[in-house]
Amino acid sequence: MSDKRCFYEVLGVAKDANADDVRKAYRQAALKNHPDRNPGDAEAGSRFKEATEAYEILSDDNKRARYDQFGHAGVDGASMPDFGGGDIFSHFQDVFSEFFGMGGGGMGGRQQKRKGPARGQDVRVQQRLTLKEAFMGVKREVVLNTPALCETCSGEGAKPGTKRKACGVCGGSGQVSSHRGFVMFTQTCPECSGAGSVVKTPCDTCRGAGSVQKTRKVLVSFPAGIDGGQRLRVPGQGMPGAMGGPPGDLYVDVDLAPDERFQREGNDILTRAKVSFTEAALGAETTVVLPDDAAISVDVPPGTQPGDVIALKGKGVPRVDGRGRGTLHVEVQVEVPTGLSARAKDLLRELDEELARGPEKTSTAASA
């Protein structure tokens, strides 16, 4: 009778486990007990071999059927494959590639695809606008000091009339591999940095880099209504691409400068209007000048109190999508006169007495 443990027990799965469950269980066991992760641990190595043997049987429908019917006796001599002098990775590369981050290409077989023309990096800058510029919209030149595509070699890095050559270290693959026990490790080729090719005769202008440092200006259109904290994307104005690849994008973060007359909240704006005591009491009409210099007439109703807010819909900041405008909020500030003349003081005292009598007493006295 075999002293081997049940293969389902080894992987910790039920007998009716599907192929995906078996595969996941083996991945976990192999990752946990792999010799490279447990140097000098003989027990971990034994568990690794045991899990690999169990997976080799349970992942094969025919072998699994024989095992389910006859147990270990049905698969004796077939449980561990003859690797023919090769390594175990060549037989289980699809499993190991997942948890070693090889993207399905496999470690023991195909190498990763070498780098070709690559998109350039994006560039991010900040631009401060005044409230008036944000209110009306503005076009502004943004100055960038970044690498730009070398016009001499069109970004190839090679001197005009010459071409890039395949890398002699990686053979043009951009990757080099090395074995460590059971594991094959693949890394970026140090000679060509993953490009798969090298420049034998570099461009005189960029010295093989494919780009040169330049100061350039990009005209950016800021739409009416844009607010601080928002970001604009300008396609194709970022860093140049490698080996002739497309450039990245330019991202402009908008910062809004404080304004002396207005406070902005989204598409709404708040301002203050001063009126006299008489205007607040009797009602009046005052004027507010918007950030775009447009004059707006504001009706101050009779009896307006200090700090009252008058809202005018559709007079605020334009929406970026062009669908209307926000609300203009006008906070009323009542000015108290100072430096009164003797006559003015007498009139105010008389007014105070009149107001103290109230509307009802005043009308009764008038009728008498």
Same CATH topology for 7-99 and 123-164+199-256? no
Quick one: average pLDDT of 127-142? 95
User: Residue 188, by phi and psi: left (phi above 0), alpha (psi -120 to 50) or beta?
Assistant: beta
Given pLDDT bands bounded at 50, 70 and 90, which one contains residue 183? low
Q: How far apart are CA 336 and CA 342, in angstroms?
A: 16
- Cβ neighbours of 97 (radius 10 Å): 19
- For the 263-335 domain, the top CATH level (class) is mainly beta
Buried b (16+ CB within 10 A) or exposed e, 302-337: eebeeeeebeeeebbbbebeeeebbbbbbebebeee
187 forms beta bridges with 176
Nearest to 277 by CA among 353, 329, 228, 334: 334
Closest among 157, 155, 153, 140 to 250, alpha carbons compared: 140
Which of the two residues, 361 and 55, has the higher pLDDT score?
55
Predicted pLDDT of residue 82: 43
- Alpha-carbon dihedral sign for residues 133, 134, 135, 141: positive
CB 275 within 8 A of CB 334: yes
CA 160 to chain centre: 38
Q: Is the pLDDT of residue 181 over 80?
A: no
DSSP string spanning 7-20? HHHHHT--TT--HH
Q: Which residues contact 122 (CB under 8 A, 6 or more apart)?
A: 238, 239, 248, 249, 250, 251
Structure token pair of residue 105: 């290409």
Quick one: 7-99 is in which CATH superfamily?
DnaJ domain (1.10.287.110)
d(CA 196, CA 116): 8
Q: Dihedrals φ, ψ of 196, to 5°?
A: 85, -5
More confident residue, 352 or 127: 127
Domain ranges of the chain: 7-99, 123-164+199-256, 263-335
- Better-scored residue on pLDDT, 207 or 305: 305
pLDDT for the residue numbered 111: 41
In the prediction, which pLDDT does 244 show?
67
Q: What is the pLDDT of residues 84-129, one digit of tens each?
A: 333 444 445 445 544 444 444 443 444 444 455 778 889 999 999 9
Decide if 25 contacts 38 (C-beta within 8 A): no
Residue of higher predicted confidence among 27 and 132:
132
> pLDDT at residue 203 above 60?
yes
Residues 306-340: pLDDT tens digits?
A: 999 999 999 999 999 889 999 999 999 999 888 88
Question: What do you get for the CA distance between the two ends of the chain, in Å?
Answer: 128
Give residue for tokens 């800021």.
Answer: 222
**45 vs 38, 108, 182, 364, CA distance in Å?**
8, 20, 11, 110
Report residue 297's pLDDT band, with 50, 70 and 90 as the boundaries.
very high
pLDDT at 368: 47
197 in Cβ contact with 167 (< 8 Å): yes
* 361 pLDDT above the threshold of 80: no
Amino acid, single-letter form, for residue 52:
T
Checking if the pLDDT of 241 tops 90, the result is no
| Cα–Cα dist 211/197, whole Å | 17
CA distances from 330 to 199, 271, 300, 302 (A): 67, 5, 10, 16
89 against 17, higher pLDDT? 17
Rg of the chain in Å (alpha carbons):
40
CA distance 237 to 5: 63
Fold exhibited by the domain 123-164+199-256: HSP40/DNAj peptide-binding domain (2.60.260)
Predicted pLDDT at 81: 45
* pLDDT, average across residues 10-35: 87
Taking CB atoms within 8 Å and a gap of at least 24, the contacts of 83-87 are: 87/179, 87/182, 87/184
Strand runs labelled E in the chain = 123-129, 138-149, 165-166, 175-180, 183-188, 197-198, 211-222, 231-234, 250-256, 263-265, 268-276, 284-289, 295-300, 309-318, 325-335
Q: What is the mean pLDDT of the chain?
A: 82
